[in-house]
């Protein structure tokens, strides 16, 4: 038996698609589809609209617009069921249609990913539960790329850290559980952070729950005998709260910058059509270009050119584009000149569509890159970067205050300012109370009194705190206090978070993604799966010594040493299931899987940035190259959502204004 590769993106897509189409098939005849805006992106990734049409969908509507018409008898709602106000909106619309329409409607609701007791109660109170047929669409992970899975819970960050709502932890546990059911238990669950710990506990708890439910409902393969997976090496859970600075920094990879400047959602970004004006509509490149001014562009790794560019540091994107342009030109020219015989000519013509697609994609990315350069050349951008680099390399934060104040005075957008202040606060365990009050005053005066609330929210999220209120982790204190914050001063050295001689063209360390700063979150992962190389980067070995002789790389020492400076719980659970070690070994031998070729799953609770994804891919590539070093060789990244710094602070920003 050759088990399928775990966390297989196409398999997950296929299943989600099938589930949805089956549900749609269950409703006879044509139907109008009402969906929650946040679901439109993921849906678009999974199913083509034309497919939906084949299944009888007449017109799509957004739930938020409240404009469903009565053109079809069947009305289908596709809504996330976890949020009470979404449920209320569904109830309101059902009532509205019932009131206004002449014909009798059939309502169906597909809750994503599950039907909740609370939603039933709310619908019942509204008096509409009886007339809707309710089912669930178990959509958890949405594959964004072959190695990136996201739950696409856009407000996971504000839910988790501002409102302290653990729904996303629960959903994450469910999603991971589904994978365990298919591919076996994670042999090891490691991680960092309090919410991460909660997730690990939930996973273990759910295992016993499933086991308890087993015999009474004898369906499906037995879960009781489920052994540790032979294809998965481990699950590493990183709580976002462990490492906020990485999110706050401006990402410097190409994909990261696209996200910073244009904002990517569900692999799509909207760009002003003037930017890519000359580009004719190409298959696969433009989505439905329905909007007047903005144009939707697919950003994904299926585009070969983009798969090279996306993870590269932006500084070298120019030369990469140049190289591709040259190669493209020479290959078309030489071929047309050399194509003398008919067979050669035929060969060339056959390859022509490929060239054309590449050319179009080249054109697109050149104009995108140009637009980004316009942004990175501005004074504000360079000044922000200066502050960021000084703060991360460990300069005295008070030297940066004049620059930040100047940026405020010059009317820099609020999110940018907040990111800088939060960065200072999170890397230095708070800001001196006197300075903090001055900044708060400046922000309120510059952006309006309503941001009193914004500042309060940021403090609740532990992003912007007065010093003294937040205690550092590790150090002299024997025990790590709960709620302590990550102490960057020792970490900068022990994990080499700052790298002066960073090489952007041919990176030799993950620090290339931020031109010097190595994301702490990825360093933690490295200290588990890639520890020999990491140890050698931190403390260069004596020449001639074998790769694995570095004392830092013994066991989990590096992980444990550094994790005491990092906030939150550290955990390391081994799941053995009910199978003895011996049987396990035998099973491993049988299935022919040795140490190599296993999957390491890295789960980011509370979001992951694109620069971190790039860094992890880099680690994954190195692992595959060095073969067998550390553990596992395929790295799959899973997260509650993909995040940028603006997205992080945006959860806190108060949108209301005083009006006459």
Partner 1 sequence: LAGKPGVSFEEIARAAYDEGRIRLATSLLDHEPRAGKQVPLLLSMKEDTIALDKAIESGDTDLIFHVLLHLRKKLPLASFFRVINSRPVATALVESSARDQDTDLLKDLYYQDDRRLDGSALLISSALVQPSLSQSLDKLKLASKYLSDSRDPPAVFTRSAVDEAQRLLQMQTQFDKDLANARDIPNQSTAGTSLIGLSTNDTIFNLIKLGHQKRAQKVVNEFRVPDKTYTWIRLRALVAARLWV
Residue 594 CB contacts under 8 Å (≥ 6 apart), including other chains: 588
The residue range among 233-241, 445-453, 604-612, 618-626 that interacts with partner 1, by the rule CB under 8 A, is 445-453
Q: Does 442 bind partner 1 (CB under 8 A)?
A: yes
The residue range among 198-206, 276-284, 366-374, 500-508 that interacts with partner 1, by the rule CB under 8 A, is 198-206
Q: Going residue by residue from 637 to 656, which x/- string records binding to partner 1, judged by CB under 8 A?
A: -----------------x-x
Among 183, 440, 598, 617, binds partner 1 (CB under 8 A): 440
Q: Which class for 505: exposed (0-12), middle (13-18), buried (19 or more C-beta within 10 A)?
A: exposed
Q: Does 586 bind partner 1 (CB under 8 A)?
A: no
Q: State the Cα–Cα distance between residues 606 and 156, nearest whole angstrom.
A: 6
Instruction: Report the residue number, 207 or 365, with the smaller CB distance to partner 1.
Output: 207
Q: State the Cα–Cα distance between residues 638 and 172, nearest whole angstrom.
A: 10
Q: Does 413 bind partner 1 (CB under 8 A)?
A: no
Q: Does 84 bind partner 1 (CB under 8 A)?
A: yes
- The CA-atom distances, in angstroms, between 284 and each of 224, 298, 455 are 45, 7, 43
Starting at the edge strand that comes first in sequence, how are the strands of the sheet with 74-80 ordered? 57-62, 31-35, 74-80, 106-112, 132-136
Query: Beta strand pairing status for 599-605 and 634-639?
Result: parallel
Q: Which of 37, 29, 16, 18 is nearest to 55 (CA)?
A: 29
Among 212, 395, 545, 586, binds partner 1 (CB under 8 A): 212
**Alpha helix ranges (H) inside 487-609:** 488-494, 520-529, 531-538, 557-563, 581-590
Interface with partner 1: number of residues (CB under 8 A): 57
Q: Does 224 bind partner 1 (CB under 8 A)?
A: yes
> Per CB under 8 A, which of residues 133..162 are in contact with partner 1?
159
Instruction: Report the residue number, 286 or 465, with the smaller CB distance to partner 1.
Output: 465
- The CA-atom distances, in angstroms, between 542 and each of 83, 160, 545 are 57, 46, 6
- Phi, psi torsion values for 608, nearest 5 degrees: -135, 145
Q: Which of 426, 364, 369, 424 is nearest to 399 (CA)?
A: 424
Cβ–Cβ < 8 Å for 509, 244: no
CB-side neighbour CA atoms (13 Å) of 232 = 27
Instruction: Report the residue number, 124 or 347, with the smaller CB distance to partner 1.
Output: 124
Instruction: Report the residue number, 155 or 300, with the smaller CB distance to partner 1.
Output: 155
Minimum distance from CB of 469 to partner 1 (Å)? 10
The residue range among 211-219, 303-311, 344-352, 562-570 that interacts with partner 1, by the rule CB under 8 A, is 211-219
Q: Which of 113, 72, 122 is nearest to 92 (CA)?
A: 122
The residue range among 126-134, 235-243, 353-361, 432-440 that interacts with partner 1, by the rule CB under 8 A, is 432-440
> Per CB under 8 A, which of residues 109..138 are in contact with partner 1?
114, 116-118, 121
Among 21, 40, 178, 211, binds partner 1 (CB under 8 A): 211
Minimum distance from CB of 217 to partner 1 (Å)? 11
Q: Does 446 bind partner 1 (CB under 8 A)?
A: yes
Q: Does 445 bind partner 1 (CB under 8 A)?
A: yes
Q: State the Cα–Cα distance between residues 185 and 182, nearest whole angstrom.
A: 9
Q: Does 216 bind partner 1 (CB under 8 A)?
A: yes
Instruction: Report the residue number, 28 or 441, with the smaller CB distance to partner 1.
Output: 441
Residue with tokens 């403390």: 539
Dihedral angle computed from the Cα positions of residues 270, 274, 276 and 281, in that order, rounded to the nearest 10 degrees: 80
Among 200, 202, 472, 608, binds partner 1 (CB under 8 A): 202
Minimum distance from CB of 85 to partner 1 (Å)? 5
Cβ–Cβ < 8 Å for 165, 130: no
Minimum distance from CB of 542 to partner 1 (Å)? 49
Instruction: For residue 291, give the 3-state DSSP assignment.
Output: coil
Minimum distance from CB of 656 to partner 1 (Å)? 3
Number of Cβ atoms within 10 Å of the Cβ of 590: 10
Instruction: Report the residue number, 352 or 452, with the smaller CB distance to partner 1.
Output: 452
Instruction: Report the residue number, 105 or 174, with the smaller CB distance to partner 1.
Output: 174
Site of interaction with partner 1 (CB under 8 A): 82, 84-85, 114, 116-118, 121, 159, 163-167, 169-170, 173, 198, 201-202, 205, 208-209, 211-216, 224, 405-406, 408-411, 433, 437, 440-442, 444-450, 452-453, 456, 654, 656-660
């Amino acid at each position: 038996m050759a088990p399928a590769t775990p966390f297989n993106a196409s398999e997950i897509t296929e299943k989600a698609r099938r589930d949805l189409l089956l549900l749609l098939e269950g409703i006879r005849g044509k139907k109008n589809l009402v969906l929650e805006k946040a679901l439109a992106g993921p849906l678009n990734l999974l199913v083509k609209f034309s497919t939906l049409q084949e299944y009888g969908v007449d017109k799509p509507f957004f739930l938020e617009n409240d404009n469903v018409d009565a053109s079809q008898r069947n009305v289908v709602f596709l809504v996330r069921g976890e949020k009470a106000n979404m449920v209320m909106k569904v109830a309101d619309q059902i009532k509205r249609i019932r009131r206004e329409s002449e014909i009798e409607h059939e309502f169906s609701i597909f809750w994503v990913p599950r039907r909740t007791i609370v939603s039933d109660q709310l619908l019942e109170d509204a008096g509409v539960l009886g007339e809707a047929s309710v089912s669930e669409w178990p959509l958890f992970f949405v594959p964004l790329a072959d190695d990136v899975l996201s739950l696409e819970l856009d407000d996971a960050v504000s839910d988790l850290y501002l409102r302290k709502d653990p729904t996303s932890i629960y959903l994450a546990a469910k999603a991971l559980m589904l994978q365990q059911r298919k591919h076996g238990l994670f042999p090891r669950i490691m991680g960092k952070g309090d919410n991460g710990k909660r997730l690990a506990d939930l996973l273990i708890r759910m295992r016993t729950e499933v086991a308890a439910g087993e015999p009474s409902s004898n369906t499906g393969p037995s879960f009781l005998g489920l052994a540790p997976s032979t294809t998965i090496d481990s699950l590493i859970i990183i709580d976002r709260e462990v490492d906020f600075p990485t999110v706050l920094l401006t990402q410097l990879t190409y994909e990261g910058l696209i996200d910073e400047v244009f904002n990517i959602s569900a692999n799509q970004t909207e760009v002003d059509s003037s930017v890519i004006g000359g580009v004719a509509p190409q298959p696969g490149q433009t989505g439905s270009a329905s909007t007047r001014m903005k144009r939707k562009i697919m950003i994904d790794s299926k585009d070969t050119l983009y798969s090279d560019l996306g993870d590269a540091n932006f500084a070298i994107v120019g030369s990469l584009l140049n190289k591709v342009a040259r190669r493209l030109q020479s290959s078309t020219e030489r071929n047309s000149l050399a194509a003398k015989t008919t067979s050669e000519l035929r060969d060339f013509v056959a390859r022509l569509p490929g060239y054309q697609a590449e050319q179009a994609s080249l054109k697109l990315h050149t104009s995108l890159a140009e637009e980004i350069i316009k942004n990175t050349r501005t004074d504000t951008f360079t000044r922000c970067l200066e502050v960021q680099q000084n703060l991360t390399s460990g300069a005295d934060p008070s030297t940066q205050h004049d620059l930040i104040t100047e940026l405020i005075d010059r009317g820099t957008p609020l999110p940018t300012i907040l990111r800088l202040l939060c960065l200072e606060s999170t890397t230095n365990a708070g800001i001196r109370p006197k300075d903090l009050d001055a900044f708060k005053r400046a922000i309120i005066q510059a952006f309006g009194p309503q941001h009193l609330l914004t500042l309060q929210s940021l403090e609740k999220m532990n992003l912007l705190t007065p010093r003294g209120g937040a205690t550092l982790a590790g150090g002299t204190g024997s025990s790590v206090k709960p709620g302590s914050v990550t102490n960057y001063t020792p970490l900068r050295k022990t994990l080499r978070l700052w790298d002066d001689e960073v090489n952007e063209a041919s990176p030799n360390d993950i620090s290339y993604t931020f031109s010097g700063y190595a994301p702490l979150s990825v360093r933690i992962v490295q200290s588990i799966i890639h520890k020999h190389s990491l140890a050698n980067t931190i403390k260069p070995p004596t020449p001639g010594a074998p790769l694995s002789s570095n004392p830092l790389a013994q066991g989990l020492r590096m992980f444990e040493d550094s994790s005491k400076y990092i906030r939150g719980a550290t955990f390391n659970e081994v799941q053995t299931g009910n199978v003895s070690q011996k049987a396990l070994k035998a099973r491993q031998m049988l299935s022919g899987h040795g140490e190599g070729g296993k999957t390491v799953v890295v789960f980011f609770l509370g979001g992951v940035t694109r620069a971190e994804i790039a860094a992890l891919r880099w680690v994954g590539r190195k692992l595959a190259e060095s073969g067998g070093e550390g553990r596992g060789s395929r790295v799959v990244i899973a997260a509650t959502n993909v995040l940028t710094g603006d997205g992080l602070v945006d959860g806190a920003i108060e949108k209301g204004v005083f009006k006459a």
